[in-house]
Amino acid sequence: MKIGFSKTALPLAGAVIAPVFEDADPTAAHAVLDAATSGALAKAIKAADFSGKKGRVLDLVGLQGMESARIVIIGAGKRADFSLLDAEALGGDAIGPILKTRAKSAVFALDGFSTDAVPAGDAAARIALGALLKSYRFDKYRTRLEQDQKPALEKLTINTPTANAKTKFAELEKIAEGVAFTRDLVSEPPNVLYPESFAARCKELEALGVKVTVLGEKEMQKLGMHMLLGVGQGSARESKLVAMEWMGGKKGAAPVAFVGKGVCFDTGGISLKPGPGMDEMKWDMGGAGAVAGAIKAIAGRKAKANVVGVIGLVENMPDGAAQRPGDIVRSMSGQTVEILNTDAEGRLVLGDAVWWTQEKYKPKTMVDLATLTGAILIALASEYAGLFTQDDKLADQLQQAARTSGDPLWRMPLARAHFDMIKSDVADMKNIGPREGGSSTAAAFIGKFVKDGQSWAHLDIAGTAWNKKDKPTCPKGGAGFGVRLLDEFVRANCE
């Protein structure tokens, strides 16, 4: 869908979308539409008892004077409460009904729509962003779509007199491209997306000026990455480690590093998962997908910061050569790990990846993302990702980035007791703790590979990487969670 901005007169045909506040006078655009319908619009709104409450949609067709038009009125809630994220949600909610029609073009009527906190240009740009994010589809493998199931909307025009809306949207569009990249990666089936092909997709980012390095099993063997390699040793697919460097900041300055878990498919290995729902384990590379999408967004908007993305890519399969419960492996750091459950594999991948990242880049800050534990779903459902860190300043920075970006975080405990729970009788540590506090002990395991003095946080995104129902700015499916969070973190703290 192509998005454009126009200051010309509002068209009175086709699909027209007009937002209204619950507690404010109608906008100038709304008044134009009402006049064009000789007051029929106002009568229809009154008859429907439409109040302008947030998210409520009134879809009107064939009103007098605009018989060939579809008018969508959407509530924006109370004017004083309206935020940038509300503008995005409004854009997504409003475009939803249009996407279900055969309309090829639509117009947002925004003349006069703004608040003191959200000026007209920002409102227009964020509404466009919300509509763009909501219009995402993954139809790559659907060959028998009925005509009315195929996307028809080709062009969305934001009708606003504000001159700077287009400029503001240009950067937001690059972020949306990063989100879409992650959604594509998470949505791909595991026979298409595996370590080698995932690495190839990352190489595409070189067109944006990103330096991409791919390590294979021979290189990782020499480095001593036996935790990561142990996870993938039962797969016919070769494991990979990918580093993506965007050096847009001061030359030689230490970068911020994002590290992602990329288990392209997780059977659980010898500790085999139950069959029902195992197909969902193609999402277990969501952390790596978020890191790749964030690098795309950051490079796409030419961020003035040094940022590195590192992802460990493996498949966890139950082959005859697969890792066994009871095995002891040596990590790149030299620490030994007793494997008690081969389905606790993501932390093994991340342990070697975060150690290598510190050795290679000496980052000033490091954040890892992973679809790591089912326990985080029990604690937070799919409403928040879990934030684990012992660095209060970094926690505050990430939570502020979460509030601004709309990728919500909830800080979880990470204490000495959680580290003690993973002590092993026969090795330096074991890869699982007790049933209680499972997300915290998983975070503690990764923390065992973080060097003293290193600023670090772990984000458990197991409940947020995939949406099982439509949301205002995201259709059902891959959410792209983490891309906007990481981009905002860089914007606020590194540029």
- Please name the residues in contact with 347: beta carbons below 8 A apart, sequence gap of 6 or more: 370, 372, 431, 442, 445, 446
Mean pLDDT of 349-362: 98
Q: Is 152 in a helix, a strand, or coil? A: coil
- Cα–Cα distance, 175 to 75 (Å, whole number): 26
Query: Average pLDDT in the 119-125 region?
Result: 97
pTM of the model: 0.96
The pLDDT mean for the chain works out to: 96
Supply the residues annotated as catalytic.
Answer: 273, 347
pLDDT at position 147 over 80: no
Task: Write down the pLDDT at residue 163.
Answer: 87
Q: First vs last Cα of the chain: how many Å apart?
A: 31
Residue-wise pLDDT tens digits, 225-263: 999 999 999 999 999 999 999 999 999 999 999 999 999
pLDDT in tens, 427-472: 999 999 999 999 999 999 999 999 999 999 999 999 999 999 999 9
pLDDT tens, position by position, 297-333: 999 999 999 999 999 999 999 999 999 999 999 999 9
Instruction: Supply the pLDDT for residue 151.
Output: 82
Enclosing H/E stretch for 406: none
Label the pairing between strands 105-109 and 155-159: parallel
| CATH 3.50.50.60 describes domain 2-160 | no
Helices (H), 208-282: 217-223, 226-232
Percent of the chain with pLDDT over 90: 93
CATH of domain 174-493: 3.40.630.10
| Structural domain spans, the chain | 2-160, 174-493
